[in-house]
Each structure stands twice: as C-alpha cells, then as structure tokens.
Amino acid sequence: MRPLPRPLVLWGVAILTAGCPSAEDAARADGETQVLVVATVHGQHRRNPNYTYEDVVRILDTYDPDLVCVEIRPQDFRREPYLKEMMLATVWGIANGREVCGFDWYEGTARAARARLEEQPEYIEKARVLDSLVATNPIMRSFDDRYGDFWRGEFGYDFYNGREYNRYIEESYRLSLAVYGDSPINLHYELRNRRMMDLAWDVIRQHRGSKVALLTGAEHKHYFDRDLAARENIAVVQLEDFLPLARRPLDPAVAAFLLEDDDLPYYEVGFPADTNRYYWGKLTTLLHGPDMDWRPDIIPAGNIDIAGKVLARWRASQPPSHRMMFDEAWYRFLSDDCDAAVERLNNLAQAVESGAVEDPFVRVYTYRNLGLCYDLLGERQDALRSYARARALMRGTRMERNADLALRDYETVPYRRGSTADR
C-alpha cells in the first residue's frame, strides 16, 4: 500500500482525524518498511539546473528517512572519495543523526573489456541488431520522439525518478541483454544489480518498519524498484508521492559541503589518510580542470572563491608543501594579486632549482606562471626569462608536446588577461 504524502493534509480533514494514526504510521506499526529509491545523475548534478546537488538534499529533507543507503562500495565508504551526491547524502545522514550505509559493487575490468569487445566484428554486428530492435520498439520510439536528446542531462528530478523514464531504461536493458547477454557490454547488468541489491538488503532487513532512502544512479532505479516490490513487508514509494519538495534551511555541514566543497564530515576518523593529496585533488578539480592551466580566463569565478576556502583549510591542516605553495600562488594570480603570487612562486623556484621539487608539472608551471605574473606587472624581461626556463624544463620530457599550449605566444606577445589566445 502506498502511503499518503506527508504532510499534505487539508486543514478541515486534519481536524476530523485529530488523534487518529496516519496511513504511514499504521503501516510502520505493522512492520512495513518503506523504501524510496532515489535516481541520481552523478556528475550531471553539477551542471543541470533542474536537478542539482541541493535538490538531492531537498529530497532527503522531504522524505526524512531513518536509514540512508548510498551507492558507495562498503570497503570505500567514508574512507575514499566517491560520487559527490553520495558523499553529500552521507553528510546529510550524519548531520541528522541517521544511519548511513554503502552498498555499491562493481567488477573493475568490465569497462576495459567492453571497449575491446566493441571493436570486434561479432560485436559490431550485434550492435546493428540492437539498433534495429530499438528502432522498432514502440516504448523506446515513443519516448525518444517525446524527449529527444535527453542524454544531455537537462531534465529535472521528477523526470529521472518518474515511471516513464524508468520504463524506458528497463526496456533498453531488456533489449541489450537479449543481444549481448549479461556481458561486459552491459557492464554485467544482472550481476552488478544483484550484488548491489543484496548488499543494500542486508542492511534494510535489519530496519523493519523504518523509512529507507536508497540513492543510486538513474540506470539502476527500475531494477531496485522491481526487486523491492516483490519482497514481503516492503512498500516501495515514489518521489511523486512526496512532491513538492521541502525548502528548509540547510544544515551547516551540508551548506559547507555545497558552498565550500568541505566534505570532511563524510570521512571517518583517520581519513583521508593523505591530506596533502586530498586537498591537491580538490584544487585540481577547481583550478586545473580541462584546459584551465592553458586558458585561465575560462575558470569560473565561483571556482576561485571556493578554492580560497579550500586553501584556508589546507593551510590550517598541515605545514606548507610544494604543491600547496604552487596552488596558493595560482589562486593569488587568478585573484589579481600578482605581487603575492610572485613572492610564492619565487620561493618555489628556489626549491625547483635545488632539486627538491619532483613533480614535473609543478616544476614547469612554477616558471610559466611566474611569466604570466611578470607580464601583468609590466616586467617583461623577467617574464621572458621565466618562459625560457619553463621551456627548458619541458625539453626532453613528455610535457614538451604541450609546450605550445602552455606558452602560447607569450614569448613574442606579453600576456594580458582576456587575450584571444586564452579564450
């Protein structure tokens, strides 16, 4: 029996039923466990305005589960970084005093095996067969005609958690399994889903009569819904039963996660084991993503703001490392504080020349970034010497093939912010 939405009760009805247990309370008293499978879209949350990371929090706030199950391998849970929305849901659970468990499982070689198989003539022919089945399948054709290029990831949480989308995904896997079997092409669909469901069920069955939120990638929701619906004393509920989503003030830990990229509450005591690598990884995402070192003008202002907060936590956690000094200088450069950047980079350059810096990226870009700063300060001769040293450090290494991207035309034209070369 599907419970009535909480707390969507008209005032007049509330008066008439005062003191009577709700359908939800009655079901839980009978030992029925409610499970809401929440379909997430992983990295697309970052760029999808219609299904953001904050929306994941709002789903949890609205449903208010007793137990949160997240798609993280048990051996990695609260020890290793994972999908951001799963870490966020963990932080939500900890902040709200709820139990959280990890239930992911995957076979680590499946993707590489799939890439190899896709090149073989037998599987190229199988792909043609599958394309033909999809083209003539009424469920898939109707869905594709209605929603077009939905793979771009611009639809909302109601879409990915809706019955129509999940029926489409279920049908697509049914056809693919008919052609390929439960092979690496399907990333072992049946095996992986079964193992994931078994891990989640080991925890859910210990929480009889509770409310459970199970967060998983959108491609898994149909499988979990189907499996759970076949079990006794389980009520599978849907997101549509709880709309509209609540809008509550964010818990401070959740707000810090979303606004400052502070996910330390996710980790158990003693982790992350290597804090230097932990902060380095965060700043790599924010300030050194695709093309960012070659085209600094594409770095979003929001990334620079968050990076400042990450750097402050990094400085407070340990003595300065070479990578910390490097990223601090890059942040200062991006924040238009070239004097401070030059001071830090010159200190780092001394360490480079003494042989103390092993990272080839830090060695080369210490001088490349010094050149950019000197150009902005109008000190052209110092800039040219810095570019020349960067080029010399690249020579004979694997970085030499990207020398023209790193140095652009800076050796002939002084660097200026917003220059055509950096766009």
299-313, pLDDT tens digit by residue? 999 999 999 999 999
pTM reported for the whole predicted model: 0.83
Q: Three-state SS for 215?
A: strand
Assigned token pair, 50: 């219609």
Peptide bond into 244 cis (omega under 30): yes
Alpha carbons 58 and 186: distance in angstroms, whole number: 32
Q: Which residues fall within 8 angstroms of residue 84, CB to CB, at 6 or more apart? A: 42, 43, 45, 46, 53, 263
Its sign, for the CA torsion 56, 58, 60, 62, is negative
Residue 321, CB half-sphere, CA atoms under 13 Å: how many? 18
Assigned token pair, 408: 């652009």
Which pLDDT score is estimated for 419? 64
Which pLDDT score is estimated for 233? 95
pLDDT over 90, % of the chain: 87
Assigned token pair, 136: 């003539």
Model confidence pLDDT, tens digit, residues 215-228? 999 999 999 999 99
Query: How far are the Cα atoms of 71, 240, 242 from residue 159, in angstroms, in the given order?
Result: 20, 10, 14
Which pLDDT score is estimated for 152? 78
Which pLDDT score is estimated for 418? 82
Domains along the chain with CATH numbers: 31-264 (no CATH), 274-422 (1.25.40)
Describe the chain by its helix, strand, coil percentages, rounded to 5: 60, 5, 35
Categorize the per-residue pLDDT at 25 as very low, low, confident or very high, splitting at 50, 70 and 90: low
Q: Read off the DSSP letter of residue 58.
A: H
Model confidence pLDDT, tens digit, residues 237-267? 999 999 999 999 999 999 999 999 999 999 9
Which pLDDT score is estimated for 90? 98
Q: Are 307 and 331 in contact (CB under 8 A)?
A: yes
Chain centroid, CA 266 distance in Å: 14
Which pLDDT score is estimated for 88? 98
Q: Hey, how many other C-beta atoms are within 10 angstroms of the C-beta on 166?
A: 23
Amino acid sitting at position 292:
M
Please say if the pLDDT value at position 422 is more than 90.
Answer: no
Helix extents (H) in 230-335: 252-260, 275-287, 301-317, 322-334
Closest CA to 31 of 237, 226, 204: 204
Provide DSSP, 127-173: HHHHHHHHHT-HHHHHHHHHH-SGGG--S-HHHHTSHHHHHHHHHHH
Q: Are 80 and 186 in contact (CB under 8 A)?
A: no
Model confidence pLDDT, tens digit, residues 323-357? 999 999 999 999 999 999 999 999 999 999 999 99
Please say if the pLDDT value at position 11 is more than 70.
Answer: no
Q: Read off the DSSP letter of residue 104.
A: -
